[in-house]
A and B are shown apart, each in its own frame.
Chain A
Amino acid sequence: EAGVAQSPRYKIIEKRQSVAFWCNPISGHATLYWYQQILGQGPKLLIQFQNNGVVDDSQLPKDRFSAERLKGVDSTLKIQPAKLEDSAVYLCASSLDGGGRAEQFFGPGTRLTVL
């Protein structure tokens, strides 16, 4: 079974530029998550999708972050404009169950450096 795919693996941009990350979840997983992991910390949920609808974006800085999941499969996360504090690893995860009763499968992440 193929895992969660993410691209790119690394991205370096200057502040105020924009950047986009892509995620392809495990086939059949209705729930998709985007996490931000700052160095030395655990992942923090940014947004959760159930199929193509957003069910939790309470922690997403909506003035600069946006995400979509067209057709309920792939998802993109965008930052515009980026700030220095956005430097982090952005992890995508998917799950069969959106209620937290099942494990989440994580992709390898995209390491973003904002200069």
Chain B
Amino acid sequence: SQQGEEDPQALSIQEGENATMNCSYKTSINNLQWYRQNSGRGLVHLILIRSNEREKHSGRLRVTLDTSKKSSSLLITASRAADTASYFCATVDRGSTLGRLYFGRGTQLTVWP
């Protein structure tokens, strides 16, 4: 079964605006990862945030993690048309030795020029 659930399912914005996507999960985690998938392509890893971290940055990306609320958010600042893609959060359960990733259904982001 899938672990993370992204919200919203779809998001449409103009270039230059910020995009915020949220992810909620149900179990205790070791880490949470965000991936991007362009149409017809494989997934690309964006950021990994560990359970003892609260915030991470990578370029125009900012990820927060609130383990008390079992939620994470991905912020893309100054969005570009090239950011149009599906964004997935994936979790690794705490104590997992195999490190299985549980993906949500994703948020489809459309950035209009």
Contact surface of A with B, Cβ cutoff 8 Å: 4, 40-45, 48, 55-56, 91, 93, 97-109, 111
Contacts and interface: CB of A to CB of B under 8 A. Distances in A.
A31 B106 CA distance: 24
Contacts of B90: 42
Nearest to B2: A42
Contact of B33 (A44, A98, A103, A108): A103
Interface of B: 2, 4, 30-31, 33, 35, 40-45, 48, 88, 90, 92, 96-101, 103-106
Contacts of A48: 98, 100
Contacts, number: 68
A42 B104 contact: yes
Given A42-B90, A44-B2, A100-B92, A4 B99 contact: no
Majority SS of interface residues in chain A?
Answer: loop
Contact of B42 (A56, A91, A103): A91
B105 A4 contact: no
B43 A101 contact: no
B106 A104 contact: no
Given A42-B2, A99-B96, A100-B31, A106 B44 contact: yes
A106 B100 contact: no
A48 to B, nearest CB: 6
Nearest to B29: A100
A10 B99 CA distance: 29
Contacts of A100: 30-31, 92, 96, 98-101
A107 B2 contact: no
B98 A99 contact: yes
